[in-house]
Amino acid sequence: MKRKGWLAGLGLTLLVSLAAAPPPQVSAPELAQRLGCWACHSLQGRGGQQGSPLDQIGARLTPEDLHAVLTHPRSRHPQAKMPSYAHLRPWEMQALVDYLTSLK
Ligand code: HEC
């Protein structure tokens, strides 16, 4: 009995430390790839044509604009067939916006 309690305690400690762990490092280019951005947008001439090229996007849009486009694409482009990425975790969204901002 005593032993079981000890194990449960360890399990709980593990759970708590996992929940409190810092967000994993995400590589934004990898994330963009995984999210399918390049099916519609291009970068350095590679990618889709449905959306505009993202090469200079950091010079055209502020981080706030980028955040708005990614969470509500239609707020900026009412006709855009771009999915919303509002479901991203905060650190994923941050990494993506930082990355796009760096494209100048
Ligand atoms: C199904 C196609 C599609 C996908 C997938 C998609 N987009 Fe779009 N996106 C569009 C269209 C269409 C527009 C509106 C026209 C344009 O590009 O300006 C748009 C607009 C944008 C804009 C605003 C451009 C501007 O000048 O205002 C940004 C930034 C953007 N997308 C980034 C992304 C990123 C980053 C991803 C991946 C996380 C992504 N898009 C995924 C189709 C898509």
Q: Looking at ligand 1, which residue's alpha carbon is closest to its atom 36?
A: 37
On whether the CB atoms of residues 42 and 49 are closer than 8 A, the answer is yes
Q: In a structure prediction context, what are the per-residue pLDDT tens digits for the chain, which is 104 residues long?
A: 567 787 788 777 777 766 666 666 779 999 999 999 999 999 999 999 999 999 999 999 999 999 999 999 999 889 989 999 999 999 999 999 999 999 99
In tens, the pLDDT along 20-33 reads 666 667 799 999 99
- pLDDT score for 7: 79
Residues touching ligand 1 (Cβ under 6 Å) are: 32, 35-37, 39-41, 50-52, 54, 57, 60, 66, 69, 73, 76-77, 80-83, 85, 96, 100
Q: Whose CA is nearest to atom 39 of ligand 1?
A: 37
**CA–CA separation, 96 and 37 (whole Å):** 11
